[in-house]
A and B are shown apart, each in its own frame.
Chain A
């Protein structure tokens, strides 16, 4: 590794960040990802008045900048996201998964959904728009969309529902932009009817989880790839414990339960495959229902 500059890292600093992030979030930063640390921390160091990333990290180490420790972890664990990311999962939701869940839940008229690691909110908002746009019958149902992330600062952004032009240019159909956003200055504000359909909460996937009602659908997309095998196994097993027996788990395109948790079976819908608990697996326990958000 070359000598550190204001925006680059020494080997010792890179190692410190890797250990810090692993310790606080169980997320593994690979040895060849120093560029990622540099990219994510350079802006923070500059904005907070440090001469270099090295100086910021030295302050965290010696305690004079301890308050930035959480923000460094958050900066390193924020995932790339976009509206309707990868397209095919949303096609599967529209064509198969939501209609199937609506049939199964017709008597209780209730759907409970969890977007784990929601980052800046594009995924849960995409889901809320999809439900609103394509399933008007859900207007009489109780639909809870819980969206969680480790990073508190990112959750604040998600809750505000304001997006840049570049963000709304990515993956969002123009018809939905017109219908569900207003333009405010250079930014785009998602309308309250969608914003209020999502409940954002902080949650660390590797710590204790708050009690969810039994979940019909979990989106855990492009999250497992950041964890090592033992943590992946733990998360998948715990997810199965909070899901309905006939619920669905949606993972990212490069992720699978195969060789990690045999309690899931793969279900293919067109060009997308998702997972559900194998029959015979125990159902989720049912804590008291919460007041839901009406779509």
Chain B
């Protein structure tokens, strides 16, 4: 399985990437929404996108909307991973097409539980 981690923080991409690799994913990274769309064009077999909200160039919400408008990317499950925690923000992300929402800070277990909710079977546990 392939996962795309989209976050403008390199450290955060590494943290999330490490968790996902431990769960059996091949991980690719992008630093903003536009770069994420370019990566998705190169690697169409992406199963999961972990998307930050606040990023330069193209933010996470605009990325999710663009992703949901592209029928070739319909299989991608999207989890927003952000410091945003107002209920209106959670609703906005779901409305834009996110499948799940994780508030930072998070733990490996939280990510694992959310993946289970999305019906994504991981091949090993950390």
Contact = CB atoms under 8 A, between A and B. Distances in A.
The answer to whether A and B belong to the same complex is yes
Interface of A: 82, 84, 87, 165-166, 169-171, 173-175, 177-178, 181-183
A171 B113 CA distance: 6
Interface of B: 85-87, 90-91, 93-94, 98, 100-103, 105-106, 109-110, 113, 116-117
Contacts of B106: 169
A181 to B, nearest CB: 7
Contact of B90 (A82, A84, A171, A174): A174
Contacts of B86: 183
B27 to A, nearest CB: 22
Contacts of B117: 84, 87, 171, 173
B103 A165 contact: yes
Nearest to A170: B110
19 contacts: A82-B113, A87-B116, A87-B117, A169-B106, A170-B109, A170-B110, A171-B117, A173-B100, A174-B90, A174-B93, A174-B98, A174-B100, A177-B90, A177-B101, A178-B87, A178-B90, A178-B94, A181-B87, A183-B85
Contacts of A177: 87, 90, 101
A44 B116 CA distance: 35
* Most chain B CB atoms below 10 A, which of A169, A173, A177, A182: A169
A174 B113 contact: no
A174 B94 contact: yes
Question: Taking each of B86, B102, B103, which has the highest tally of chain A beta carbons within 10 Å of its own beta carbon?
Answer: B103
A107 to B, nearest CB: 35
B113 A87 contact: yes
> Counting chain B CB atoms within 10 Å of each CB, which of A82, A84, A177 scores highest?
A177
Q: Which of the listed residues A84, A165, A174, A175 has the most CB atoms from chain B within 10 Å of its own CB?
A: A174
A173 B102 CA distance: 10
| Nearest 10 interchain pairs by C-beta | A174-B101, A87-B116, A171-B113, A178-B91, A183-B87, A169-B110, A169-B103, A178-B90, A174-B90, A174-B100
A217 B101 CA distance: 31
A183 B90 CA distance: 11
Contacts of A87: 113, 116-117
B102 A169 contact: yes
Contacts of B100: 173-174
A139 B36 CA distance: 45
A178 to B, nearest CB: 5
A165 B85 contact: yes
A165 B87 CA distance: 11
Among the interface residues B87, B110, B113, B116, which one has the most CB atoms of the partner chain A within 10 A? B113
A178 B94 CA distance: 9
A174 B79 CA distance: 10
A97 B85 CA distance: 34
Nearest to A179: B91
B123 to A, nearest CB: 15
A124 B90 CA distance: 24
Contacts of A170: 109-110, 113
Contacts of A173: 100, 117
Contacts of A174: 90, 93-94, 98, 100-101
Nearest to B85: A165
Given A87-B117, A169-B102, A182 B87 contact: yes
